[in-house]
Structure 1
Amino acid sequence: MMIIDGPARLSGELSVQGAKNSTLPLLAGALLCKGQTVLHNCPDLSDVDTAIEILRHLGCVCRREGHDLIVDSSITCHEIPEELMRRMRSSIVFLGAILSRCKEARLCPPGGCELGPRPIDLHISSLRRLGVQVKECGGWLECSCPGGINGAYVSLSFPSVGATENLILAAVCGKGTTIIANAAREPEICDLSEYLNRCGGRIYGAGESCIIIDGVEELYGCEHRVMPDRIAAVTYMAAAAVTGGNVTLRDVDNTHILPMLSPFEESGCQVRQLGGSLNISAPRQLSAVRHIRTMPYPGFPTDAQPVVMSMAAVGEGTSVFVENIFENRYRHTEGLTRMGARIKVEGKVAVVEGVPELSGAAVEAADLRGGAALIVAGLCARGSTRIEGTEFVKRGYEDIGEKLALLGARVKVFESC
């Protein structure tokens, strides 16, 4: 639980954590490598803890030294327990790596935030193109490739990040050449490919819509620095914006932020980018953000939509959001409305009429990014905001309460019993 007493103008400097959405596939990639992998800038998150538990169950030795995570890769098991699979949706990314190492894998469909249907059918159909046999038995997926992974041409019907990562992890040590058409282009795909290439892989075209993988016999562990978390960065930018603040973010990759800059500029914020840092200075009164349409990269990311909606809630004018990725991505609107926001949702469209001020209220986070949106709203709301369900937020934000307090927010965090 978190209690925020607002409003409070944020100011100061903050370092951005390593990316959750990059760390998880990197840890799956460590399964493929002989010897030791050292991941620098590894965030301390509950989802990362779950991934470490999965690695240990599979036979790896993992230890933390501050923000360095050391993985000694060995694999003695090809099954992930249901309890670990159910904790997070991204657990499915281990499938390709386990198949590559063991030629078989057994797991159940993953869990995670309830954002509507996110079927793993695309993962399964794509891996079948590489020679993987899949059957469902009592709610479990039993996968095997007795002859190993065989290179093939795979055209994705949607540029799924998870399916692209699973294909890369499966094919990097496979036989022959794999071509992924309509591949996801997110920076996290580039980070995974850079790591695997540093380990001896041959992956070409990451960041483009066509990725070519020439299979190699072996990979060897290396040291790699996890890319900065672009969604965490935009969350702190939104926090600065709603409070009329002036905040400098260090350790960011400004090229990753570019697709998310438009709403900040439209709202009247000044954003200055210099090297590995970013400064945002917000006006006293935000303007509407006009029109946000979520799309695969390099479009506006669905993970950033909830926190930008909190900005729109106090922006002068009307903002329109169109959510094209997840059908249940508007669950945070209930909490925002309870705080005084004027939001009308119809299907995948949300229309936000900005109000002069939000009021503190008791609200509950239903998912990771929705929880972050409620925190952002609480920072500018008058009075006390009590947010339950902040365990969701811990899945993707490292010490968010403490970091906001360093910037001047009045935040109290209470651990769940």
Structure 2
Amino acid sequence: MDRIRIVGGRELNGVIPISGAKNAALPLMIASLLTPETLTLENVPDLADVNRLLRILGNHGVDHMVEGRRFGDSPDASRTIRLSARDIVDTTAPYELVSKMRASFWVVAPLLARMGEAKVSLPGGCAIGTRPVDLLIMALEKLGAKVEIEAGYVHATAPKGLRGAEIEFPKVTVGGTHTAMMAAATAQGATRILNAAREPEVVDLAACLNKMGAKISGAGRSEIEIEGVGRLNGARHRVLPDRIEAGTYAIAAAMAGGDVLLAGAEAGALQNALDALVAAGAQVAVSNEGVRVKRNGAGLSPVDVETAPFPGFPTDLQAQFMALMTRAKGDSRITETIFENRFMHVQELARLGARIRLEGDVALVEGVERLEGAPVMATDLRASVSLVIAALAAEGETMVNRVYHLDRGFERLEAKLSGCGAVIERLSS
């Protein structure tokens, strides 16, 4: 099993290109099931989750062609993937596939909308809480589907097609909003989604569906309106930049010090996190090139943050910001409101010398003067990169084990950091 070795104490200086967003690419790829024509997606990151979803879609009959980097291209050149679901050969998504990545459960919506039936295993994924699918099922039932749970599978049927309806989510859910939009795009009549997720990835999916012929308005606001159309066509769409990757490297630059340009990053997609970095003592400048983050070596100030749905502080940056606060001059409070069990990185940060006390959904972080390298173990995607951030500022060597979590969400992490001066390498067992 691969490990990552990091020797801390080096500033980061240079340019880090921001890849396409995993959390946008996955629902966009799933949307290919809605049409028999080809959906072409540009700027798709080369990640384990993306490649796993290609295999899952292939199980349903989706053909794909990946256009990789051509001779002479920069190593940072993005991929283009062409997806063609001309014939759906299987409406069942088996446990052995879905259990490895919970986002793959979303195939239930386009399969049901196009074929009138879907049988999808209840999902797996990161161990950061239950993340139930009850709200997704509720949305499908509102649209007229009959849904039954059978031996660990969700079996949804709508032999006469789906019908537009009003769907009001009791709490904000990104997966529920994705599912409702895909299912309603070709339903008969109009659909209103109330208390919809406002994340940029939701806006990106709506933009792609509209290019395919859907009629969706209001994405990015709490109320989305959809006028169902008879069928969708193929389209070409570029995946938006990954705001979580950008926020992660912004925090890394603040942790290690130096001057880093996050090329292609969109500041508006992570403004809350950038505001927290400024409060902590980093300098942030926005330009047409992206976002530049500097820290000149002055001490970090403690900042309290509370995770919230967009446009609040992202839960997917909570672990990274906690790593930053371990070196602040004072105490900070980090409150997690989205997922239970998302403090599993605390014990591993403690191995590096961090002082963190948990009180329910609050982590109380007492800043320390220095961290020391040690062997640590990744528990989930965002927790694993928080250990990398801490290691960048730790004295001596840190060995991060179980880095397959990192490969799910960060493209070429070692190359991007080493290109800015970090001493970091992957060791294959």
TM-score (norm: length of structure 2) = 0.95
Q: Structure 1: which amino acid aligns with 2:352?
A: M
Matched ranges for 1:220-369 at <5 A: 220-369=233-382
The question of whether the paired residues in 1 share the 8 Å contact of 2:99 and 2:124 is answered with: yes
Partner of 1:45: 47
Q: Which moved more, 1:255-264 or 1:168-177?
A: 255-264
Tell me which of 56, 59, 62 is aligned to 1:60.
62
Distance in 2 separating the partners of 1:218 and 1:139:
31
Tell me which of 166, 176, 184 is aligned to 2:179.
166
> Is there any run of 5+ residues in structure 2 with no aligned partner, and where?
69-78
Q: Structure 2: which amino acid aligns with 1:274?
A: S
Partner of 1:115: 128
Helix, strand or coil at the partner of 1:261: helix
Partner of 1:77: 90
Partner of 2:29: 27
Helix, strand or coil at the partner of 2:237: strand
Matched, 1:14 2:22: no
How far did residue 147 of structure 1 move? 1.2
Q: Structure 2: which amino acid aligns with 1:193?
A: A
The question of whether the paired residues in 2 share the 8 Å contact of 1:268 and 1:283 is answered with: no
Helix, strand or coil at the partner of 2:404: coil
Q: Percent identity between the aligned chains?
A: 39
How far did residue 276 of structure 1 move? 4.1
Helix, strand or coil at the partner of 2:171: coil
Q: Which moved more, 1:133-142 or 1:210-219?
A: 133-142
The question of whether the paired residues in 1 share the 8 Å contact of 2:348 and 2:387 is answered with: yes
Distance in 2 separating the partners of 1:63 and 1:4:
36
| Superimposed CA distance per residue, residues 29-75 of structure 1 (whole angstroms, 9 cap, x where no aligned partner) | 11112321111100000110111111111001112112111111221
Helix, strand or coil at the partner of 1:407: coil
Distance in 2 separating the partners of 1:104 and 1:33:
15
Partner of 1:154: 167
Tell me which of 401, 416, 426 is aligned to 1:388.
401
Q: Structure 2: which amino acid aligns with 1:273?
A: V
The question of whether the paired residues in 2 share the 8 Å contact of 1:149 and 1:175 is answered with: yes
| Superimposed CA distance per residue, residues 147-194 of structure 1 (whole angstroms, 9 cap, x where no aligned partner) | 111100010001100000000000101110010000000000000000
The question of whether the paired residues in 2 share the 8 Å contact of 1:264 and 1:289 is answered with: no
How far did residue 316 of structure 1 move? 1.0
| Superimposed CA distance per residue, residues 382-410 of structure 1 (whole angstroms, 9 cap, x where no aligned partner) | 11101111101111100111111111111
Distance in 2 separating the partners of 1:46 and 1:18:
14
Matched, 1:214 2:220: no
The question of whether the paired residues in 2 share the 8 Å contact of 1:134 and 1:144 is answered with: yes
Q: Structure 1: which amino acid aligns with 2:62?
A: C
Distance in 2 separating the partners of 1:126 and 1:374:
37
Q: Which moved more, 1:279-288 or 1:316-325?
A: 279-288
The question of whether the paired residues in 1 share the 8 Å contact of 2:9 and 2:256 is answered with: yes
Partner of 1:127: 140
Q: Which moved more, 1:253-262 or 1:209-218?
A: 253-262
> Is there any run of 5+ residues in structure 1 with no aligned partner, and where?
none
Q: Structure 2: which amino acid aligns with 1:353?
A: E
Helix, strand or coil at the partner of 2:99: helix
Matched ranges for 1:168-183 at <5 A: 168-183=181-196
Helix, strand or coil at the partner of 2:384: helix
How far did residue 77 of structure 1 move? 1.0
Q: Structure 2: which amino acid aligns with 1:55?
A: L
Distance in 1 separating the partners of 2:253 and 2:372:
18
Q: Which runs of 4+ in 1 moved over 6 A?
A: none
Distance in 1 separating the partners of 2:30 and 2:58:
12
Distance in 2 separating the partners of 1:288 and 1:319:
9
Distance in 1 separating the partners of 2:150 and 2:94:
15
The question of whether the paired residues in 2 share the 8 Å contact of 1:35 and 1:73 is answered with: yes
| Superimposed CA distance per residue, residues 322-356 of structure 1 (whole angstroms, 9 cap, x where no aligned partner) | 10001111111111111001111111000111111
The question of whether the paired residues in 1 share the 8 Å contact of 2:302 and 2:329 is answered with: no
